[in-house]
Chains A and B, each alone.
Chain A
Amino acid sequence: MPLPTGPVIGIMLDNLRKRDSVFPISRRKAVKWAKDLAIPVGGETVLYTGSMYQLLPYMIAAVNRMGKLENTFLAKMVGMGRFFNRMINVSNIMFRPRGSDHKRFGSIIRDIARLLQQAGVKFGYLYKEELYAGALAYDLGADDTFIAHARRVHSLLKKHGVRSLITIDPHTTNMLRSVYPTVLPDFDLEVKSYIEVLAARENLRPRNKVEGPIVIHDSCVYARYEEVIEEPRRLLERAGYTVVEPRDNRKLTHCCGGPIESLFPSMAHQIGVKRVEQFKKVNGNRVATMCPICMATLQQATGGALEINDISSYLARAFCEPGGNGKPASAKDNRSGL
């Protein structure tokens, strides 16, 4: 039997209401990526991760576990799981992420921060206080839960005097830039994706030689909701790569399947496989994604046949010193904010 939709959604929403995230995450692990990068606490401009990359190790563990329950009699037990999850944090017991996944997704955020430092962008970070932006609750139509959570996020930002946000994934960008202003009338913060910020910084030039084709996978949310389309291409080209377009690209990009991974894992995988087939038909075995959900879903769908990485990993190879902290050699162009 398929996973019961109501209880699965219920568990995620209960977690958001009680534990501030659809999957309860360790705050200590969520901020580990920032170690030794000397990012100040708070400030007018902050890098807002929205915990999306940090959530992925938990999502992968959950999907693996739920995928095993799907189409078995055990799927019925999910309803009971929701009952207990309200009292104790069942998700933490059921879904144990792998340490290697924490490291993998943490290093992506680290690369993003290093790229911004390299470009001379000044920004702070809210560390353990930062909250998930609520994208999943919004997509599931849980409006009351979503709005209550959005208010908590807004209060946090006001408390720290934040005026502008640099986001790192399309879902958080969409929530903060396009959805929050529709549900919170006084939400007037400037929101830009780090991809847009970097693309506008002409001073960011490659330090290391990189070359060869990179197949680009547009995120549906960046391309169709936020119109972030040309910026990633410009950055890859400036780095030295040749951008290769799969059949479905830009505004007509093909979904990775990830949005339904938690409710319909098998179906999500099939969509991912279809997208990977499009990559295989063009020249190049390296693929760049811009969303942690796309990356995880497509990596699973490709089964190791292609190298699928976050765009920031490819960019860091060109623009940052290997293993360095990414700070610019000269502070000449340290313009503040966005």
Chain B
Amino acid sequence: MALVNPSFLQEVKASKEFNATACMNCGVCSAVCPLEIDLLPRKLFRYVLLGLEDKVLENTPVIYQCLLCKMCEANCTADVNIAENIRFLRSYIGRKLYKL
């Protein structure tokens, strides 16, 4: 079961950095990813937009595995700032989970 965390959702909505509402879930990002990670970024961004903090935190290793190489962004048909979104999630996890 996945739980919606309203405070997480609020932080996402208040953020200037995170924006994935234009994502059409087409999957090109996953297809071109050099890491061949199925999750990133389309499913991950769904979790974020739905406020499913548990699901996001479960995928912490994958979020830090992202190369920020922007291959996905260069091929994204919806012009989503994927690398910046990943950085936002790292910032959130760094504060929330690792107390950095």
Contacts and interface: CB of A to CB of B under 8 A. Distances in A.
Interface of A: 2, 5-6, 9-10, 13, 138-143, 145, 220, 224-225, 251-252, 254-255, 257, 259-260, 263-264, 267, 271, 274
A5 B68 contact: no
A220 B69 contact: yes
Contacts of B73: 224
Sort A-B residue pairs by CB-CB distance and give the 4 closest, nearest first.
A141-B90, A141-B91, A6-B98, A255-B69
B87 A139 contact: yes
B58 to A, nearest CB: 14
A130 to B, nearest CB: 25
B33 to A, nearest CB: 9
Contact of A5 (B60, B69, B74, B88): B60
22 contacts: A2-B61, A5-B98, A9-B64, A9-B98, A138-B87, A139-B68, A139-B90, A142-B100, A220-B68, A220-B71, A224-B74, A252-B75, A254-B34, A255-B67, A257-B34, A257-B67, A260-B66, A263-B65, A267-B35, A267-B65, A271-B35, A271-B67
B89 interface: yes
Contacts of A254: 34, 71
Interface string B13-55: 0000000000000000000001100000000000000000000
B37 to A, nearest CB: 10
Interface of B: 34-35, 60-61, 64-71, 73-75, 87-94, 97-98, 100
A48 B73 CA distance: 29
Given A141-B93, A254-B34, 13 more contacts: A5-B61, A6-B100, A9-B98, A13-B100, A139-B90, A141-B89, A141-B91, A224-B74, A252-B75, A255-B69, A259-B68, A264-B64, A274-B34
B64 A224 contact: no
A255 B73 CA distance: 13
A260 B62 CA distance: 11
Instruction: Tell me the dominant secondary structure on chain B's binding face.
Output: helix
Contacts of B91: 141-143
Given A2-B61, A251-B74, A259 B67 contact: yes
A289 to B, nearest CB: 15
Contacts of A142: 91, 94, 100
Contacts, number: 75
Contacts of A251: 74
A193 to B, nearest CB: 18
A141 B89 CA distance: 8
A143 B15 CA distance: 13
B69 A141 contact: no
Contacts of B64: 5, 9, 140, 260, 263-264
A141 B93 CA distance: 9
A2 B71 CA distance: 26
A115 to B, nearest CB: 27
A6 B93 CA distance: 9
B14 to A, nearest CB: 15
A140 B69 contact: no
A257 to B, nearest CB: 7
B94 A264 contact: no
A260 B65 contact: yes
Give the residue among B61, B65, B67 with the most A Cβ atoms within 10 A: B67
Contacts of A257: 34, 67
Given A139-B68, A142-B94, A9 B74 contact: no
B87 A6 contact: no
Contact of B74 (A140, A252, A263): A252
A292 B73 CA distance: 24
A140 B97 contact: no
A267 B35 CA distance: 8
A220 B35 CA distance: 14
B34 A255 contact: yes
Contacts of A139: 68, 87, 90
Nearest to B32: A252
